[in-house]
Structure formats: C-alpha cells, structure tokens
Amino acid sequence: MTYAAPLADMRFALREIAGLAGVAALPGYENATEDMVDAVLEEAARLAGNGLAPLNRVGDKQGARLENGMVRTPDGFAAMYRQFVEGGWNSLPFDPAFGGQGMPWLLATAVQEMWQSANMGFGLVLLLNQGAIDAIAHHGSDAQKAAYLPKMISGDWTGTMNLTEPQAGSDLAQVRTRAVKDGDAYKVTGQKIFITYGDHDMAENIVHLVLARLPDAPAGVRGISLFIVPKFHLNENGTPGKRNDVRCASLEHKLGIHASPTCVMAFGDDGGATGFLVGEEGRGLSYMFTMMNNARLSVGVQGLAIAERAYQQALAFARGRVQSKADSSPDPKAVAIVHHPDVRRMLMTMRSQIEAMRALGYYGAAQIDRSLREPDEATRKAAQMRVDLLIPLIKAWCTDLGNEIASLGVQIHGGMGFVEETGAAQHLRDARILPIYEGTNGIQARDLVQRKIARDGGEAMRAMIAEMRALDAELATAPGDDLAAIRAALTTGADALDDSTAWVAATVGKDIGAVLAGSVPYLRLAATVLGGWLLAKSALVVQRAMGAREGDPAFNESKLIVARFYAETVLPQGVALAGPMRAAGRTAMALPEERL
C-alpha cells in the first residue's frame, strides 16, 4: 500500500483553521502566496508518494547497519536524500540570510507531515537537522552560524541532538559527559545513547549538539553546557577536513523505525572530541529546549502522519476484503468489510481523530509563526504563551493517538494485520516510539500542569475556552441538526475543560501529587476538547459554503459528517476523563511499593 497525501484536507486545515492568509501577511512571509503554497504542496505530495513511500518497506526490512565503523542506510536512502538536497526541501522555513527560503513554519509543518507519513525512518533525519538548525540559529555565535547554518540548511550537512546517557534518560541532571577547555575549543569525552542519525552515509558532515559538563560545573541542570561537535573538523575554507574524535560505537536494535540509525555515540576515545561552546557556560539545557520544543511539535506531527498512513492502508484493505453478508441487506452475497458497521465505526474513529490532530497541529504551527513575526510585541507574547501551552498537548495527544490509530489499522486487517507482509504491523511498530522520545508523554502532562497551568493560573487555557464560547454563539444561529449536535457536545466539552482547569490551578500548589496523578487524563481531556473545537469551526465553515453553493459539495458534506461523528462519539470520551483526573491522586500511590 502506497501513500497519497490528503491535500484537500491539508489545504482546508491550513486556510480555514490555521489562518494561512494571516500568517502569509506577517513581515518576512511575503513569498508565501497562495499559488506558491499550492505549488509546494503539490510537489511535496509527488515526492512523498512516488519517492519516499516506496522506500518505506525497504527501510523496515533492511534497516540501518554498522559496517567497519560506518553506518550504512538502506538501499535508495542516500540517493533519495541527495534528491531532497537538490530540490531545496531542507531549506523551506529557514533564514534566507543563510540560504533558507523564509517560508512559514505552518507550511513546513504540512510538508513535514507528508515526509513522515510516507517514510518515517527517512523523515527522522530531516526532523533532527531542523531542530539543530533552530538551536544554532537562536543561540550560536555569528561565526558558528556562518560556519554551520548554510550547509545544514541546504542539507549537505545534517544535525543531531545528544542528550541521553545510559544513566541519564529524562533526568538530564545526571549527565556525565565532560568538556575541558582547550584553547579556543573544548575536549569532549563521554557516551551518548539513542542518538537518531548519529552517523550515516547520506551527508558529507554531521553536526552534533552535545550536552556536557565543565570540570568545575555545579551539580544539576545548571551545570550543563552545550557544544557543537562536528564529525569532521572544518578546513579554513569551511569544507570538511580531518575526522574528529567521535564515532558510532553501536546501533540499537529497535521495535520499529529500523531504517533510522539510533546510535550509541562515543566522544573522545582517543583523547577528546573537539567541541565549541554554544552561548554561555551552564546554559546548555535552556538552549537545548529551543531544539526540543521544535522537535516536540514535529514529533506530534509524526503521530498525525503515521495515523494517516495507517488509515489509508486500513481503508484500502477494508474496501477489498470480502467477508460475510451485509447486516442491512437480505442478500446472502458476501460484501467488502467496509460495509460492516463496526469496521465503519473504526474507520470513522480513525479519520475524525486524524482531522482533529491535523487541525490542532497546524493551528499550533501558525501560533509559532505569530510568536516570531507579529509586529506588535503584546500579540507576539500572547502567541508565545499559546505555543507554550499547545506544545505538550500536540506532542502527547497526537502520539498517543498515532499508536491507537495504528492499532485500529491492524484490527481492521484482522489476522492479516498481524503478519508483516501487509505492512500494517510496521505502522504500529514505528508509532510506538513516539510517546517516548522527546520527553515521554507523562513528562508532557507534568509540564502542562506544573509549569503551563500553574504559571498563569490557567489563563492561557481559559483564553481558548473563551474562543470556544464565542464559536458556540455562532453555532447557535446556524441552521441544521448537525451543527446543533456539534454545538451541544462542544458546550459540554468547554464546561468540562473549564472546570478541570480550575481544579488543576487551585490544587497544583496544595497537592502536587494529586495533580500529577491526574495530569495525563487532564491533558487528554484538554486536547480532545480542543480538537472538537477546531472541528466545530470546520463544520461551521463548510455549512456556510454549502449554503452558498461554494466549494466541493462532497468534501463539505464529508467534513460536516466527520465533525459530528467526533462530537458525538469521541468528544464524550474526553469529557469523561474529568472524574478520573480528580480521583487518580487518592489511590495511585496508596499501595506500598512491595505490594504492587
């Protein structure tokens, strides 16, 4: 089963939900005209469907391999990556001063969805490079930007993020990698694990961003600094020269994403890898958060992407798999399983949640653009507050749903989904890492309640709830049973989110344990309601278009039906989490450890 980008829904989400026209009007985004955006989307869709998607199965079966100290990617990957570089795809959202195209992050997010749907094992190299560029662009010196950004933006070089160590997973205060001053540079020694594309054969240099401690650094996260450690030293003319003292010691053997080399990286086996301090000493973790927040949005998009791929495959299988007669017909002839109500329920569950995820992910990307480019400072700050709130929601909710939807895809295939030949199992295996990396989803929920809600007492969340109330008023005057049903569900959802946010804000300072025990249900409730809000906006848009006889009637009707399905069957499940959210703290820690 290949992949076809869902361009109609992507365009709708870009324009009607994320507000592409308003983003394109921001200073610096003048080239993001409607014609240009359409051209980019069409060409990206062709490359994803015809180039990347056919390599997905190849990458899964062959995997990356370590041969004589060099990581080799699966057949076709290096040639495909060169095609990406030559096509300028790496440079889409970056600063034109360093060779970027200066397009909005909103457009880059939509394009990234296609890469990740078509071939997530390949798409990970693009994701990590994007984050590394962002970190250097924000915190590197002028000399570092000049030396590294043009080649990384073009894609001739790629970037990595080196945080995790065997004893330091999510707790980066435990980092032991050391950096010792050596003239204008530092000697870095230590080991990092789980490094995505830490080594490969697709680019002429790899720029590692590495967290390490100076000898006199204090304990804890404040003692960590950030260093650029290139695979190859740079010659005076900026080209790659002598090999640095950094190597891939081994590759992890993983459940999924086999094509993506997940490396154990050894720094300084022969005396110390040469590294260059980024910014100030001791501020490495705060700098790295620039990269991690960028990556967390991208990982959320990966959840959306793998869900879309699993849905397309499940739908194609359901249309072709003939089993049993139709329940609604006396005809004994067997029909395709797409006609069976429970299969249709699963497909509608998949599709409605995918459309909600796409709406929320694109909306979040648009808020990033506004936080960077809005001329008014207060408007920029408000957008940044919303970005801060949305990032943990998008990362956690979309990746959880990516797993659930990939699992539904296997279920629709029945026994055929459990065997590797159909490909449905690969989507489930690939999806499983998403709730884990770039901060587990429990950490995202902790961040949401302990930092984002506690920081402003829930005001940023209540601002979005106020927008739901305003939409409710518009829905109240719109005709039709569909919008009435959607409005009723959204009203209930907004009330539940409002009450739950008030509980979190009031309790977080008094009983942090109770709030943390219920933080995952709260995150799920919030994201489910926000998804319902954006689908309700979609329904109102298409209802008006139908009344004016505008647009594609079949597309408009489909959007309306999907929004109502979500409102009546998915949204109530999110609302129901309000009770478990409050109750979890009473018993989650009640059993002694030895009796668990």
**Active site (catalytic) residues:** 438
Give the C-alpha separation, 385 to 390, whole Å: 9
Distance of alpha carbon 161 from the chain centroid: 16
* 245 touches 273 (CB < 8 A): yes
Pairing label, strands 185-196, 70-72: unpaired
* 151 touches 231 (CB < 8 A): no
Instruction: Count Cα atoms within 13 angstroms, Cβ side, for 218.
Output: 6
Q: Where are the alpha helices (DSSP H) in 437-552?
A: 441-447, 454-456, 459-476, 481-507, 512-517, 519-547
Encoded amino acid at 261, one letter: P
Read out DSSP for 189-212? EEEEEEEETSS-SSSSEEEEEEEE
Give the C-alpha separation, 460 to 490, whole Å: 19
* 538 touches 355 (CB < 8 A): yes
Q: Given the structure tokens 């094509």, which residue do they identify?
A: 259
Give the C-alpha separation, 434 to 348, whole Å: 23
* 260 touches 121 (CB < 8 A): yes
Distance of alpha carbon 514 from the chain centroid: 28
Q: Exposed e or buried b for every residue in 386-410, given b needs 16+ CB within 10 A?
A: bbbbbbbbbbbbbbbbbbbbbbbbb
Contacts with 422 (C-beta within 8 Å, 6 or more apart), sequence order: 1, 313, 317, 413, 416
Give the C-alpha separation, 414 to 418, whole Å: 7
199 token code pair:
């080594």
**Is residue 460 exposed (0-12), middle (13-18) or buried (19+ Cβ within 10 Å)?**
buried
Encoded amino acid at 202, one letter: M
Give the C-alpha separation, 136 to 157, whole Å: 14
Q: Given the structure tokens 């429990």, which residue do they identify?
A: 442
Rg (CA), the chain: 24
* 396 touches 389 (CB < 8 A): no
Of 162, 120, 567, whose CA–CA distance to 303 is shortest?
Answer: 120
Q: Given the structure tokens 């997905």, which residue do they identify?
A: 56
In sequence order, the β-bridge partners of residue 248 are 265
Of 356, 360, 358, 352, whose CA–CA distance to 387 is shortest?
Answer: 360
Q: How many CB atoms lie within 10 A of CB 282?
A: 17
Of 104, 154, 108, 112, whose CA–CA distance to 133 is shortest?
Answer: 154
